[in-house]
Structure 1
């Protein structure tokens, strides 16, 4: 499994508008082969939202990025004043998972 991370700076006052942008996107990506989970983390301390997308493999993530659906959901870019500065993109392989046992 891999986790793709986007670190996005969001200008104060644009938080709700930024979050609303994902209403439609999440339902689109959920239908793609290899998709596992998506998490959007709102900052409590700091100015960056963290977007985490879990995929079965790098290949399934890359297939998503080459799809027409990906192009459609990313065609409506956020206004520059909403997300100033560059986004941080990272991809990690999950090597260990620890979860609370019932």
Structure 2
């Protein structure tokens, strides 16, 4: 399993608009082969970034998403917030899950 984490620094004045953008997202990633789930984490401490976290069955599945038409369509809305909504560039991190302590039965919702 692969996780892709995007750390996004959002100016506090735009936090509500940023969150609404994810609430009303196109959801195209949800239908991609190998996609497991998406989580958007709100910072609990002021000044910390939001984290957009996606889970994938494999690196190949994630890379197929990034080169798909659905990716382009899903990210076309990125211009809906002005530059000043962001307090710096986002940071993308990719990690392989080598240990998972989830004890729920396979397929049970998170």
TM-score by length of 1: 0.90
1:64-84 alpha-carbon deviations (Å, 9 max, x no partner):
001111101112223101113
Number of aligned residue pairs: 102
Runs of 4+ aligned residues of structure 1 deviating over 4 Å after TM superposition are none
**Partner residue in 2 for 1:92:** 95
Greater shift in the superposed pair: 36-45 or 73-82: 73-82
Q: Which runs of 5+ in 1 are unaligned?
A: none
**RMSD of aligned Cα (Å):** 1.7
Pairs within 5 Å for 1:16-95 = 16-25=16-25, 27-45=27-45, 46-77=47-78, 78-95=81-98
Task: Quote how far apart the aligned CAs of 1:16 are.
Answer: 1.2
Contact 2:27–2:74 at 8 Å: present in 1 too?
Answer: no
Contact 1:35–1:60 at 8 Å: present in 2 too?
Answer: yes
Q: What SS is found at the alignment partner of 2:63?
A: helix
CA spacing shift, 1:26–1:94, aligned 2, 3 Å: farther
In structure 2, distance between residues paired with 1:26 and 1:5: 19
TM-score by length of 2: 0.84
Task: Quote how far apart the aligned CAs of 1:24 are.
Answer: 4.1
